[in-house]
Amino acid sequence: MEYNHSTKVVTNVEETFAWHERKGAFRRLMPPWETAEQVGESSSLENGSRLTFKFPMGPIKMKWVAEHSGYNPPHAFEDTMVRGPFKTWHHVHSFVETKDGTCRVDDHVEYTLPMGVLGRIFGGASIKRRLTRMFRAREIRLTKDAKRYKDFAHMDRKRILIAGSSGLIGRQLIAFFDTADHEVWRLVRGTPGKNQIQWKPSEGEINPQDLEGFDAVIHLGGAGIGDKRWTKKRMELLRESRTQSTELLAKTIAQLEKKPEVFIVSSAIGFYGNRGDEELTEESPRGEGFLPDICDAWEQSAQPARDAGIRTIHCRTSLVLDATGGALKKMLLPAQLGAGGPIGWGKQWYSWMAMDDQVYAIDHVMMTKECDGVYNFSSPTPVRQKIFAKILGKVLWRPSFIPVPTFGIWFLLGKMGVTLATDSSKVLPNRLVESGYEFQYATLEPALRDALGKWND
Q: How far is CA 146 from CA 52, 78, 199, in A?
A: 25, 21, 34
**Residue 109, number of CB atoms within 10 A of its CB:** 18
- Cβ atoms of 217 and 264 within 8 Å: the answer is yes
What average pLDDT does range 69-79 have in this prediction?
97
The pLDDT of residue 60 is 77
The pLDDT of residue 413 is 60
* Buried/exposed 133-162: b ≥16 CB within 10 Å, e otherwise: bbbbbbbbbbebbbebbebbeeeeebebbb
pLDDT tens for 50-68 read: 999 988 776 778 899 999 9
Residue by residue, DSSP assigns 116-180 as HHHHHHHHHHHHHHHHHHHHHHHHHHHHHHHHHHHHTTTSPP-EEEEESTTSHHHHHHHHHHHHT
- Cβ atoms of 185 and 161 within 8 Å: the answer is yes
pLDDT tens for 220-262 read: 988 888 878 888 898 899 999 999 999 999 999 999 999 999 9
The pLDDT of residue 415 is 64
The pLDDT of residue 174 is 97
Q: Say what the pTM is.
A: 0.94
- Res. 124: pLDDT tops 60: yes
Q: How far is CA 456 from CA 147, 383, 397, 453, in A?
A: 24, 21, 11, 10
Residues sharing a CB contact under 8 Å with residue 135, sequence separation 6 or more, in sequence order: 3, 5, 107
H/E segment holding residue 233: helix 232-254
Domains of the chain listed by start with CATH number: 2-151 (3.30.530.20), 159-452 (3.40.50.720)
- Cβ atoms of 237 and 245 within 8 Å: the answer is no
The pLDDT of residue 197 is 97
Question: How does the average pLDDT of the chain come out, rounded?
Answer: 92
What average pLDDT does range 441-451 have in this prediction?
97
What average pLDDT does range 176-204 have in this prediction?
95
pLDDT band at 404 (very low <50, low <70, confident <90, very high): confident
pLDDT tens for 146-177 read: 999 999 999 999 999 999 998 999 999 999 99
The pLDDT of residue 125 is 85
- Res. 437: pLDDT tops 90: yes
pLDDT band at 388 (very low <50, low <70, confident <90, very high): very high
Helices (H) and strands (E) in the chain, counts: 13, 20
